[in-house]
Amino acid sequence: MGGAAGALLEVRDLHVSFDTEAGAVPAVRGVDLRVQRGETLAVVGESGCGKSVTALAILRLLDPSGRIERGAVRFDGQDLLGLSEPEMRALRGRRIGMVFQEPMTSLNPVFTVGDQIGEVLAIHRGLGKRERRAEAIRLLEKVGIPAAAERVDQYPHEMSGGMKQRVMIAIAIACEPEVLIADEPTTALDVTVQAQILDLLRALQQEMRMAIVLITHNLGVVAQFAQRVLVMYAGKIVERSDVATLFREPLHPYTRALLRALPSRSAHAERLVSIAGTVPSPLEYPPGCAFCARCPDVLPRCADDEPRLEGVEAGHAVACWLHAGTGAR
């Protein structure tokens, strides 16, 4: 916990579940996170770990079957979960920007990109028609789209994937948001385009002192782009660290296994250390640690007794019985 001083966005004990035919399925089970102005926090994990659901819950964009069971989301001192939908809408896209994975499906195919950027400018900044067009061109230039004055009148299908993602970023930064929530923003893109987009986000962040919450499965992107990182598994945070420490000295057996499974971190043709088995179904989470069935270092108490996220040194916390009681707090 600790004081909230300085945290621009703070999530406390977030629980989200989804209604399914099999009953309520827990997707996020007690997530805490804090982001300061100007910093990048990465949330990393594999499919189904709850990282995207966490992002959507913060934005209050869960689909109707999803429900925030409990927890708090505070942005600049305001409780987001207590806001009305119109109040939330006034915040989204203005002070909190968002970029999602699929630029192909996030843009409306029947409007020009200029119209779509203009919509945000009309709603949140009240600009007139001519001002909107000029501002849209300026934003397209800012995100590195060449011939912006012509591109502004194009439709999404006339653009490549990288261009569309730049348009999405132009929309997201149109109102100079204080925090940008980016869910796999480069996953659908080629590596050279990914590099361009990450460079662009970094430059915009420095210029605008924007905080970024980066949701990703790609540990390479985490290493190159974020300052701090949360590792999620089965709806919970299993490790929290600054990036350098996490890659140098991962503590949770899941984090360690994940890093060892990366082909680039082992010698050519050497057998990779894979993680046996698969992620448990949310319907079958054990009462204890959800990783226990796959953990190489499992202890007798792990299956029944749930480890809490505990600090082991400044800025580094892990939820694991192997490290319980070793820390300062």
Partner 1 sequence: MSGTAADRRPLLEVRDLTVHFPVRSGVFSRVSAWVRAVDGISFDLAAGETLGLVGESGCGKTTAGRAVLRLLEPTSGQVVFDGRDLIRMNRRELRATRPRMQIVFQDPYASLNPRMTVGDIVGEPLRAHGLARGSEFDDRVAALLERVGLQASYRFRYPHEFSGGQRQRVGIARALALSPELIVCDEAISALDVSIQAQILNLLQDLQDEYGLSYLFISHDLSVVEHIADRVAVMYLGQFVELAPVAELFREPQHPYTQALMSANPVPDPGARVVRIPLEGDVPTPLRPPPGCRFHTRCPRVMDACRTHEPPHIRTAVGSSVHETWCHLYAG
Report the nearest approach of partner 1 to the CB of residue 296 (Å).
Answer: 12
Q: Is the distance from CB of 155 to CB of 112 less than 8 angstroms? A: yes
* Residue 210: CB minimum distance to partner 1, A: 21
Q: What would the x/- binding string for partner 1 be over residues 106 to 135, using CB under 8 A?
A: ------------------------------
Determine the Cα angle at 184 with ends 17 and 204, to 5°: 125
User: Can you say whether the dihedral through the CA atoms of 228, 55, 285, 46 is positive or negative?
Assistant: negative
Minimum Å gap between C-beta 24 and partner 1 is 22
Choosing from 224, 296, 308, 315, the residue that interacts with partner 1 (CB under 8 A) is 224
Task: Report how far residue 234's alpha carbon sits from residue 232's, in angstroms, rounded to the nearest whole number.
Answer: 7
Question: How many CB atoms are located within 10 Å of the residue 289 CB?
Answer: 28
Measuring CA to CA, how many Å separate 268 from each of 221, 263, 264, 271, 301? 22, 8, 8, 9, 38
Q: Which amino acid is at 202?
A: R
303 touches 285 (CB < 8 A): no
Helices H / strands E in the chain, number of each: 11, 12
Q: Which residue has tokens 């189904």? A: 48
Taking CB under 8 A as the criterion, the residue among 6, 82, 220, 296 binding partner 1 is 220
Report in angstroms how near the CB of residue 309 gets to partner 1 at its nearest: 21
CB of 299 to partner 1, least distance (A): 21
Note whether 157 binds partner 1 by CB under 8 A: no
Q: Which of residues 253-282 bind partner 1 (CB under 8 A)?
A: 257-259, 261-266, 268-269, 271-275, 278
Q: Work out how close the CB of 221 gets to partner 1 at its nearest, in angstroms, rounded to a whole number.
A: 5
Q: What DSSP designation does 84 have?
A: -
Rg (CA), the chain: 21
The amino acid occupying position 280 is P
For partner 1, which is the closer residue by CB, 73 or 197? Answer: 197
DSSP bridge pairs for 33: 11
One of 150, 199, 249, 304 touching partner 1 (CB under 8 A): 199
Q: Which residues pair with 97 in a beta bridge?
A: 180
Rule CB under 8 A: say whether 225 interacts with partner 1. Answer: yes
**What's the closest the beta carbon of residue 218 comes to partner 1, in angstroms?**
7
Q: Count interface residues toward partner 1 (CB under 8 A).
A: 45
- Among the candidate windows 78-86, 112-120, 158-166, 316-324, which touches partner 1 by CB under 8 A? 158-166
Q: Which of residues 72-111 bind partner 1 (CB under 8 A)?
A: none
Q: Does 194 bind partner 1 (CB under 8 A)?
A: yes
Selected from 77, 146, 287, 325, the binder of partner 1 by CB under 8 A is 146
In angstroms, the CA 9 to CA 2 distance is: 14
Question: What's the min distance (Å) between Cβ of 197 and partner 1?
Answer: 11
User: Does position 214 bind partner 1 by CB under 8 A?
Assistant: no
H-helix or E-strand spanning residue 18? strand 7-20
Report the interface residues with partner 1, using CB under 8 A.
Answer: 46-47, 146, 160-163, 190-196, 198-199, 217-225, 243-244, 247, 257-259, 261-266, 268-269, 271-275, 278
